[in-house]
Amino acid sequence: MWKKECGQFCREIHYKRKEEGIEITGCFGEDGQIVLPDEIEGLPVISIAPYAFAEAKTDQDDLIWRNKEVPDIKVDRHAQEKAERICAEQVESVWLPKGVTEIGRYAFYRCRNLKTLILSDSLLEIGGGAFTGCRLEAVEIHFFQGEKSCLRSIVDEIRFAVRARLFYEGEEARVLFPEHYEEAVENTPARLLVTHHHGAGGYYRQCFYDRELDYKKYDELLYRTRAEEELETAVELVMNRLCYPYRLEPAAKDRYKTFLQECLKEAAGILAEQENQDGLMFLEREGLWTLEALEAAMERAAQSKKTEVLSLLMDMRYRCFPKKQKTFEL
């Protein structure tokens, strides 16, 4: 799962040597898809410097690693730094080195277009404001040493919906942290400000203990999702847990399935619209389909021109609800 090719790396990486390894201070490349090597000059990359991707400044004391597999662009050195340093709004995705244990403060400050972050469980410390001004949507964490990670620190900084893919030894979990926000409302007679919480995301962000995600506590919050989130969000969250049931207890699975059965027609249409083939196949595998729900999903797929999903649903209809052959009596 964790395999990088040299051709993926940035064309030029600026760094400093520390006692334990390498600290990245900046990158140059052709686009905002940043893939950083696990080692530079035979030393492990262990940290990302403060403000590394937040601004275009370059320290004259930085060392430089150049990717020999990426053609160099012959331009004036000063102009090259000014035009091609990947920072701020240019950053779109980041694949961190496997051995990174620390991200400095404000490392990705105002990287507004940063949507995807890939990292390992070596990273447990994140500097203050590291993702301030970001709208991170997807986090992928690979676990090699247990189940501790910096996931809580990340989702605490992002109030928008965050989708996490967590890779353990031979297993994958997918969890959704819904959007949430807080609103200060004045209670004029009492001269107090009362904080109102909106969305279930704040509760899901509390499902951690000692830097480990508490799946049992996460699964107990379905009632919050049902009460405070749109059906599309609830369906996505539920299908993530059912299709990737890491540490999913039988009682929680039953609650999730009951929820689906109660809104099966609407949920099936949402899955078709989202092209969630894993979810649609789960409904067949668990024997949850009704003819009405299946036909509703087919109609939604046809309206949305999701031809691949429509073909899948037509095959399911044939298997789940075959037409009875007519018989004739002589």
Q: For residue 38, what are the CA distances in angstroms to 14, 60, 96, 328?
A: 14, 24, 8, 72
Strand partners, 171: 168
- Dihedral of the alpha carbons of 315, 316, 318, 323, in degrees to the nearest 10: -150
Residue 79 is predicted with a pLDDT of 43
Residue 61 is predicted with a pLDDT of 85
User: How far apart, in whole angstroms, are the C-alpha atoms of residue 50 and residue 207?
Assistant: 28
Q: What is the CATH number of domain 1-158?
A: 3.80.10
Give the orientation angle of helix 264-273 with respect to helix 307-320, to 10 degrees. 140
* 3-state secondary structure (DSSP) of residue 312: helix
Residue 76 is predicted with a pLDDT of 47
Indicate the pTM of the whole model. 0.89
Residue 221 is predicted with a pLDDT of 98
* 3-state secondary structure (DSSP) of residue 229: coil
Residue 10 has what DSSP assignment? -
* 3-state secondary structure (DSSP) of residue 291: helix
Residue 75 is predicted with a pLDDT of 46
Rounded to 5 degrees, φ, ψ at 202 are -65, -35
Listed as ranges, residues in the chain with pLDDT below 70 are 1, 71-83, 182-198, 325-330
Q: ∠ at Cα 256 (252, 258), nearest 5°?
A: 115
Closest by CA position to 130, among listed 144, 147, 109: 109
Structure tokens at 20: 């334990």
